[in-house]
Amino acid sequence: MIIHVFNSQQELNQAGAGIITALIQTKPDAVLGLATGGTPVGIYEELVKNYNAARVSFRHAKSFNLDEYVGLPDGHSESYRTYMNHHLFDHVDIQMEETHVPNGNADDVDEECEEYDAMMADAGQVDLQILGIGHNGHIGFNEPGRELTAGTHRVELKAETREANARYFPSIDEVPTHAITMGIASIMKAKQIILIVRGADKAEIVERALFGPITTDCPASLLQAHPNLVVLLDNEAGSGLIEQ
Ligand code: PGA
């Protein structure tokens, strides 16, 4: 595991975008695992800048997103497909048909999950997976519990996850109760994982995830077993580590 702690959001964003840019420069047909939420927004902004400066082209790249809410109407402002189009896909030259976000409106969600895993298997190994972390240690929407699931699956969101995401919705009642998420094995299969965390409110979970026991009660702790994990933290999220 390599941990970088940055003094500014800009340095963190440039470092994250730099890793993705360097990968695509050396492997134009890279398979990217992408994340949503507040954490990666600045990294996508930097990636768009790199694209506009002709430092990177996504023309041959493919992407698979970690997760999607179940039941939001197509085009809903808070769906993760809308987020990805808005923050990245609409601004770069990736082929839209090579971008994949689980379909949270599928008639048969289980079938959608199986198809998503099959598409990922066809695309080959994810070269680089971007991850954030929830306050409860979730990665994607793999919530803490007695067991974790290997492949893409439907999940019931924990109350704390719905509360954390309520900031994007008019009220908590409108936050979906379920989501589709890649499973832990899908995430751990990636060649490289970039875990990005910002803010003092995540300092404790960062410490637990990276240095606490490996346990399903903190899904992110499994990342300790990944052979190529790079952690990008702002100094607030990294404050617990610096004090050690
Ligand atoms: P956030 O979410 O980036 O909005 O903090 C991270 C997560 O829940 O995985």
Task: Indicate whether residue 134 lines ligand 1 (CB < 6 A).
Answer: yes
CATH number at residue 232: 3.40.50.1360
* pLDDT surpassing 80 at residue 242: no
Count of helices and strands (H, E) across the chain: 8, 10
pLDDT over threshold 80, residue 9: yes
Quote the CA–CA distance of 56 and 19 in Å, as a whole number.
11
Distance CA 183, CA 13 (A): 26
Query: Which residue has 């990968």 as its token pair?
Result: 23
Question: Residue 111, SS3?
Answer: helix
Å from CA of 198 to ligand 1 middle? 9
**Is the C-beta atom of 186 inside 6 A of ligand 1?**
no
Cα–Cα dist 188/131, whole Å: 11
pTM here? 0.96
**Cα 138 to ligand 1 centroid, rounded to whole Å:** 9
Q: In the structure encoding, which two tokens stand for residue 179, read together?
A: 């989501």
Ligand 1 centre to CA of 169 (Å) is: 15
- The Cα 42–Cα 10 span in angstroms is 8
Which two structure tokens, joined as six digits, stand for 140? 């994607």
pLDDT at 149: 97
Cβ partners under 8 Å of residue 225, min gap 6 = 188, 214
pLDDT at 22: 98
Q: What is the mean pLDDT of residues 145-150?
A: 96
Residue 52 structural domain: 2-241
Can you tell me the distance from the alpha carbon of 224 to that of 200, in angstroms, rounded to the nearest whole number? Answer: 21
Distance (Å, whole) CA 209 – CA 137: 7
Instruction: Give the percent of the chain with pLDDT over 70.
Output: 99
In sequence order, the β-bridge partners of residue 229 are: 193
Q: pLDDT tens-digit profile of 125-144?
A: 999 999 999 999 999 999 99
pLDDT per residue over 69-87, tens digit each?
999 999 999 999 999 999 9
Q: What do you get for the CA distance between the two ends of the chain, in Å?
A: 17
Q: Quick check: 12 pLDDT over 90?
A: yes
Looking at the CA of residue 139, tell me the nearest atom of ligand 1.
9
Q: How many structural domains comprise the chain? A: 1
Ligand 1 binding pocket includes 163 (Cβ within 6 Å): no
The pLDDT of 32-45, averaged and rounded, is 98
Residue 119 is encoded by which pair of tokens? 């598409």
